[in-house]
A and B are shown apart, each in its own frame.
Chain A
Amino acid sequence: MKRSFVLLLVSLLLILAACGNSTKQSSDSTDSEKKNEKAEVNLYTSRHYDVDNELYKKFEDETGIKVNVIKGEADELIERIKREGTATKADLFLTADVGRLYRAKEQGLLQEVSSDKLSKQVPDKFRDSDDMWVGLTKRARILVYNKDKVQPEDLSTYEALADDKWKGRFLVRSSESVYNQSLLASFIEIDGEEKAKEWAQAIVNNMARSPEGGDRDQAKAIAAGIGDVAIMNTYYLGQMLNSQDTEEVKVAEQLGIFFPNQETTGTHVNISGAGVVNGSKNADNALKLLEFLTGEDAQFTFAEANYEYPVNPDVEPAELLKSWGEFKEQEIPLEVLGKNNAKAIMLFNEVGWK
């Protein structure tokens, strides 16, 4: 009996060893690839757009540096980099919200990186004050409205949405959306915590329905007559206007676009951005990739394919975005969005913004 069990154990071990071997082979092959090409850059990213892959491909073709990618949710990637510590393979951390860049920086996961090229391609405003991250694209959180029921004159600022006249007419997605968190974080910075909380409370009272769905769903709810004004990100609107589904296009066409706070503090802007990971083994290549992604070619591609605003001042936004006109942006240091994030979430919970 014992002998037969030993047999079973051995066969188990063999299976395990076989697994081990196959993975070892694969890591061998990546090793040998490394030796052949000698250049690579490892990317942890929470952006999932096809256009990103196209850009990495282009970068590979231009520089011969291979781009390896792990995609995930930003916080999970941060956690992974943290746990991997000095042994991490990550070179570049890329994400779609400045709050998460701030968190990565706070946790000591990023290193300073700067070059003349980067400074030229990305205005100071979209770079970390300590050069720990740079912005790649920006998106504005704007108001859309039902053209039949709302005149643009009725709208002015985010703050004005707290007014009673919007009771039962206002639409927004849940507070779990990092875009809403960053929005409230910006108000905490500008108006103070107390005012920000009052605003959030008033918004909850004005909601046409309790928050559900994504940004696109808010637009559809306006078309369906559930509410009259909604907050949404510009690029979702761009995607809807260019959707394969003609019904989505119709919905988007019914909407008016309004950039709030033009007379006051400016429209809220968030960025996608990236930072070089502390302990990166290919920091030079990571820098090259950053320079590439903020360069004119890549910036143009980002803008055209995804309706995001380029950070590079030499690059024009896509035609569609240009047709919406220029606008005044919020003038606060972007890192405060990260700094105030947890506070914003707590405020949301306290006022019952689902």
Chain B
Amino acid sequence: MNRRIANVNGWTIGAVLIIILLFVPNLSIVTGIFTPINENWEHIREFMLLKYIKSSLTLVFFTAIFTIAIGLSLAWLIAQYDFPLRNFMKWSLILPLSIPPFIGAYTYHGILNYTGIIQKTLRNHFDLTVNQAYFDIMNVPGAIFIYTLFLYPYVYMITRIFLSNQAASLIESARTLGKGSMEIFLKIVIPISRVSVVGGVSLVILEVLNDYGVVKYFGIQTFSTAIFQTWFGLGDLESSIKLASCLMGIVIFILLIEWALRGGKKYSFSSTKIRPLPLVKLTGKKAVMATGYTLIIFTVAFLIPVLQLLDWFVLTFGKVPMEEVFTYTKNSIIVAGTAAILIILFSLIIGNFSRITKHKLAKVLPKLTILGYSIPGAVIAVAVVTTFIAIDRYLAPIYLWLGVDSALVLSVSLVMLISAYIIRFFAIGYNSIESGYTKIGTDFRDASRMLGVSSLRTFFKIDLPMMKGAIFSGFILTFVDILKEIPLTLILRPFNYDTLATKAFQYASDEQIMEASQASLLIVGVSAIAIFIFNKVLREGQK
């Protein structure tokens, strides 16, 4: 009993408070499971549900396989070998993350379709007409292609950091023992990077389950299109929330699998020698192959779409109003930055609570906060609006007392939008912070605490410095993701408040993809700068 009370400390209070704050708006969705079924639901179940589950799972399954294959192989190449262009590729291979999948889908369709550059050239210069079927990407395999291209960096980035910083001694020992590359890869790299691969690929899966833009444009019916069609088409928010809670069920299932795959195992490196792996220099054919492979991925997943966007930008130059670009860019950076900082801060508190508290609840509770990532943005938006209006009602007397002449203050401000981002994207930041905590383990902390240093001081002096990498990668991932976000931003932003993503989306949704190129390029540009800085900071951290 005493022990339990001793466990309740500041971290607990802080963590529980944040978890409640993050969870409350989701309550209205969780309760959706229990609402009685109506006739729409019968219709959905009869004509849609099975089809939708099937296509969703197909997308998830193959995207997961391909992102693992590409992400892990790239991470291993970069972490272990030196070859021409390696230093450039190391960070450039993350860049595809800066392209929102729906923009990627539009660009690839733009390139491949009848009026696209390939067919146009063949037709006009070589007088060749091609079989359209070979150029059609608006189908399930096409969507898997798009998701793989623009989401594999989740796996690559997380695994690479793990391999180059943490797995050095293991790989080095294997080398010393004379093991070949392939054997090391199969017997050492794959097993030890399981945790980070699973972490990365679960982000990919959640992203795919939640995507609406790509599948809508390609005409693929999935869970998220079902949710939207039920809400928009049938005007039945209740049934669509019910669908959303089914989706949430699937996600909880996936998270449980993730947890089981980790087997509760912790790879805690108590060695102080967190240092980069000495690189093996590749020469001759092997070097060409390594450079070629990374170059192909980089070209297909980043260079080609960006060149296409540039082409469209030039075509529509002068047609799209330019004068407010600076404002949109600034708005995007401010909201995404603020939300990402808060997410990291909250993650640090909850993660530390989960790490140092022995109670089982401390392991389970933080998982609840990840649920936001499983709920479609638009549904979260509704939940958040409802919550904030309730808060505003509650605070109304205070507003009156302060002389504010309006019943709605919070719910028309950026506070609402930023809160929604935090709920929606908490999983991304938390995932990174959690794996950071897992890596550093508790040995140093325990030592420090035993020497009588306070918990908070230990946190700042011992834990934080070791967490630098996790903090930066968490921040960049969340920042870039929020920069690309659409449904929440559209619905929750204050009056006259545009961001790059809303600008790009507004054009794209009206089939004006050429006009959307300017804002899309800026999203890519800002994200690329963020990724570059992140990489620089990380590298300096390693020195």
Contacts and interface: CB of A to CB of B under 8 A. Distances in A.
Interface of A: 1-2, 4-9, 12, 15, 19-20, 22-24, 26-27, 30-31, 42, 48-50, 53, 68-77, 79-80, 83-89, 103, 173-174, 176, 178, 181, 210-217, 220-221, 223-226, 236, 239, 243-245, 247-248, 250-251, 341-342, 345-346, 349-350, 354
A83 B389 contact: yes
10 contacts: A4-B456, A75-B231, A211-B219, A212-B138, A213-B217, A213-B219, A215-B511, A251-B115, A342-B236, A345-B229
Given A26-B413, A181-B233, A80 B115 contact: no
Contacts of A79: 237, 382, 385
Given A75-B232, A212-B219, A251-B114, 17 more contacts: A1-B454, A2-B9, A4-B456, A15-B345, A23-B413, A27-B412, A31-B404, A48-B510, A50-B321, A69-B496, A84-B385, A84-B408, A176-B219, A213-B109, A213-B138, A217-B113, A342-B236
B233 A342 contact: yes
Given A80-B385, A244-B315, A20 B415 contact: yes
A122 B247 CA distance: 45
Contact of B225 (A53, A176, A217): A176
B414 A71 contact: no
B532 interface: no
Contacts of B216: 176
B139 A212 contact: yes
B31 interface: no
Contacts of B115: 220, 223, 245, 247-248, 250-251
B411 A239 contact: no
Contact of B9 (A1, A24, A31, A173): A1
Given A48-B506, A71-B506, A236-B511, A349 B43 contact: yes
B336 to A, nearest CB: 14
A30 B495 CA distance: 10
A239 B415 contact: no
B48 A85 contact: no
Interface of B: 9-11, 13-14, 40, 43, 47-48, 109, 113-115, 119-120, 129, 132, 136, 138-139, 216-219, 221, 225, 228-229, 231-237, 315-316, 319-321, 338, 342, 345, 378, 381-382, 385-386, 389, 392-393, 404-409, 411-415, 418, 454-457, 487, 490-491, 493-496, 498, 502, 506-507, 509-512, 514-515
Contacts of B14: 5, 8-9, 12
Given A5-B456, A9-B10, A12-B345, A245 B381 contact: no
B511 A70 contact: no
A103 B232 CA distance: 10
A349 B47 contact: yes
A27 to B, nearest CB: 6
B413 A48 contact: no
B319 A244 contact: yes
Contact of B455 (A4, A23, A83): A4
Nearest to A233: B511
B132 A225 contact: yes
A176 B507 contact: no
B235 A76 contact: no
B404 A27 contact: yes
A220 B511 contact: no
Contacts of B229: 176, 345
A19 B316 contact: no
Given A71-B502, A73-B490, A349 B454 contact: no
A4 B221 contact: no
Nearest to B14: A9
What 9 pairs between A and B have smallest CB-CB spacing? A5-B10, A48-B506, A4-B456, A247-B115, A68-B495, A212-B138, A87-B407, A212-B219, A23-B413
A61 B319 CA distance: 22
A73 B237 CA distance: 15
Contact of B234 (A83, A248, A345): A345
Contacts of A31: 404-405
A223 B114 contact: yes
The interface centre, meaning the residue of A48, A76, A210 with most chain B CB atoms within 10 A of its CB, is: A76
A79 B13 CA distance: 35
Contact of B491 (A77, A243, A349): A77
Nearest to B341: A15
Contacts of A30: 495
Nearest to A78: B235
A352 to B, nearest CB: 8
A210 B235 contact: no
A244 B411 CA distance: 41
Contacts of A27: 404, 406, 409, 412-413
B414 A5 contact: no
A239 B512 contact: yes
The interface centre, meaning the residue of A8, A42, A173 with most chain B CB atoms within 10 A of its CB, is: A8
Contacts of B413: 23-24, 26-27
B132 A226 contact: yes
Contacts of A174: 219
Contact of B511 (A75, A83, A214, A251): A214
Contact of B514 (A245, A349, A350): A245
A234 to B, nearest CB: 14
A272 to B, nearest CB: 12
A244 B316 contact: yes
A69 B324 CA distance: 15
Contact of B457 (A4, A24, A42): A4
Contacts of B218: 212-213
The interface centre, meaning the residue of B236, B237, B491, B502 with most chain A CB atoms within 10 A of its CB, is: B491
Contacts of A9: 10, 14
Contacts of B495: 30, 42, 68-70, 89
Nearest to B317: A244
A103 to B, nearest CB: 6
Nearest to B413: A23
A87 B368 CA distance: 32
A19 B456 contact: no
Contacts of B11: 5
B509 A350 contact: no
A76 B378 contact: yes
Contacts of A89: 406, 408, 412, 495
B352 to A, nearest CB: 11
Given A48-B506, A213-B219, A214-B217, A220 B234 contact: no
Nearest to B416: A23
A354 to B, nearest CB: 6
B114 A221 contact: yes
B233 A345 contact: yes
Contact of A342 (B120, B234, B405, B493): B234
The interface centre, meaning the residue of A74, A176, A226, A248 with most chain B CB atoms within 10 A of its CB, is: A176
A152 B362 CA distance: 71
Nearest to B135: A224
Contacts of B138: 212-213, 217
A308 to B, nearest CB: 12
Contacts of B217: 213-214
A71 B120 contact: no
Contacts of A220: 113-115
Nearest to A70: B495
B17 to A, nearest CB: 9
Given A48-B509, A70-B493, A77-B491, A8 B10 contact: yes
A229 to B, nearest CB: 17
A245 B512 CA distance: 12
B129 to A, nearest CB: 8
A80 B512 contact: no
B254 to A, nearest CB: 26
Contact of B47 (A73, A247, A350): A350
A4 B392 CA distance: 32
A15 B339 CA distance: 12
Contacts of A71: 490, 498, 502, 506
A7 B14 CA distance: 12
Contacts of A350: 47
